[in-house]
Amino acid sequence: MAGMTRIWLQKIRKHKKLTHLQIATMVGIKRQYYGMIESGRGNPSVEVAKKIAGALEFEWTLFLNMEAMKRCMR
């Protein structure tokens, strides 16, 4: 479900003092795609979600949990 900024993802990235480009490079995706994921305009595949989570050191299922929470808030 796209459309809502993933503030939690942005906070984790900023806490680690990393840029969109740095994360995208670590994950093997384009910077623009990472920006879309973080802004909520794009949803990562399970593979990409796992890579982002690995790079930022959080449980990848947080993507799924947050998407479920958004559906409940509608």
Q: How many degrees, rounded to 5, is the angle at CA 71 between CA 64 and CA 45?
A: 30
Q: What is the model's pTM? A: 0.84
Per DSSP, 56 falls in state H
Half-sphere exposure of 72 (CA within 13 A, CB side): 6
Residue ranges per structural domain of the chain:
7-73
**Domain 7-73 falls under CATH 2.30.30.60:** no
Give tens-digit pLDDT for 35-60. Answer: 999 998 999 999 999 999 999 999 99
Q: Does residue 70 register a pLDDT over 90? A: no
**SS3 of residue 61 by DSSP:** coil
